[in-house]
Amino acid sequence: MKRRMLLKSIAMTPIALTSPSLLRAARSAEDAIEIAGIYSMSGTFANVGSLLNDGSRWALEMYGTAAGKKLNYNLMDDRGDPGEAVRKVQEAMTQRGVKHFIGCTNSAIGLAVQKEVYANEGIYIHIAGADESTGKDCNKSNFRWPVASYSAVNATVRPLIEKFPDAKNWYTITGQYVFGESLLTNVKQVLEEKNLNHVGNSYHSISDREYSGYIATAMAAQPDVLVLCNFGNQTLDVIRQAISYGMKSNTKILAVWSTGLDQFRALGPENCEDIYFGCNFWHGIDTPGGRVVAETVKAKTGDVPTYLHAGGFAIAQLLVEGFKKAGTTDVPAVIKALEGLKYQGPTGEEEVRAQDHQVIKDYYLLVGKAKAAMKDPNDFADVVAATKAFLPPDKTGCKMG
């Protein structure tokens, strides 16, 4: 009798272990969509990663659910290291079954992660700017919201050439990393096409903070335009040091890829005045999707959105739009739903180009305003041009697998 009771007790043990709290936990996991954000919360571009992460997190909090499931957001700090990013993605995919990824803080990380996510049959939406992302390194899992380097250069350099037809000599200062090289390549192509003189280039490393030597070399070349092919705080440091050397008095300065408002605040209106900036988002452009971003950010900060807030928001929004259209979180279905999707994004109506998964949207050329001309504390710049400057799909090098 005792033996039968013991066997009965053992046989019932699995039922006891799965009820009721563990069953509730299991049901909760099944009812949630796990989304991983990959951002540099430490390292050179930690200030950028932090703001991007805020935008993504706030967007997912605003949506709350999609395809009938709760949205769970998990932040992964890549520490500014592509290898670290890949290791964390591998762990999330193989050990925790995560299939949905957003974010990156620089192109080297984005390019590495998009390969890993594709290899493990997930989906990845990011903000890397290097042409290769939706070019030769494109794949079915990979989607990009901001424009490529090609688009940023053509939407800024060409309007500046039209505005200043007598500016014949151009000098570049370039970050010696994937994104900087991509910008530089495109600048040189435009200048060659327009028969303008590229009178020199100075490279700096990702760790540089002192640029006086590069600026002195640039000034010796007597350029009409100085073009900055870098990113983040390095752009700010070069601008400040160029101004301190008096370069702004006789040279136009263009930062091809700025992060907009947060950088303008850091520079101050005196330093922004008459400097040209390229940007993926500007809060002064009124669109239905932009108002959603503005309301979300205002509720969190009491202020207007920066590009980094909007960029982080946009990639989270795009993933949710895919879930909503597909009616499921199944990766192949979400990919199919996103291809060709038109929706109201932060810059207006945006479209995911099916051939390479590039979002087609405006890129802005801004010029800094004088402090006396500012209508409010965030009115740092005027929009010179809003341009959709994209290579045709058959010219990008993308061979979608």
DSSP 31-82: TEEEEEEEE-SSSTTHHHHHHHHHHHHHHHHHH-EETTEEEEEEEEE-TT-H
The CATH class, in words, for 151-279+362-393 is alpha beta
Nearest to 73 by CA among 56, 88, 87: 56
Confidence (pLDDT) at 400: 85
Q: Is the pLDDT of residue 10 over 50?
A: no
136-155: per-residue pLDDT in tens? 999 999 999 999 999 999 99
Domain boundaries, the chain: 23-146+283-361, 151-279+362-393
If we measure between CA atoms, which residue out of 231, 174, 230, 233 comes closest to residue 209? 233
CATH topology of domain 23-146+283-361: Rossmann fold (3.40.50)
Distance, CA of 167 to chain centre: 31
Q: Which amino acid is at 54?
A: D
Is the predicted pLDDT of residue 27 greater than 60, yes or no? no
Report the chain's mean pLDDT, rounded to a whole number.
Answer: 92
Tens-place pLDDT, residues 37-87:
999 999 888 989 999 999 999 999 999 999 999 999 999 999 999 999 999
Decide if 23-146+283-361 and 151-279+362-393 have a common fold: yes
To the nearest 10 degrees (0 to 180), the angle between helices 107-119 and 82-95 is 30
**Residues 208-226: tens digit of each pLDDT:** 989 999 999 999 999 999 9
pLDDT at 14 over 50: no
Q: What is the mean pLDDT of residues 30-40?
A: 92
Nearest alpha-carbon partner for 236 in 255, 251, 216: 255
User: Do residues 99 and 332 make contact, with C-beta atoms less than 8 angstroms apart?
Assistant: no
pLDDT score at 206: 87
- From first CA to last CA, the distance across the chain in angstroms is 65
- The pTM for the full model equals 0.88
Determine the pLDDT at residue 348.
96
Is residue 253 scored above 70 in pLDDT? yes
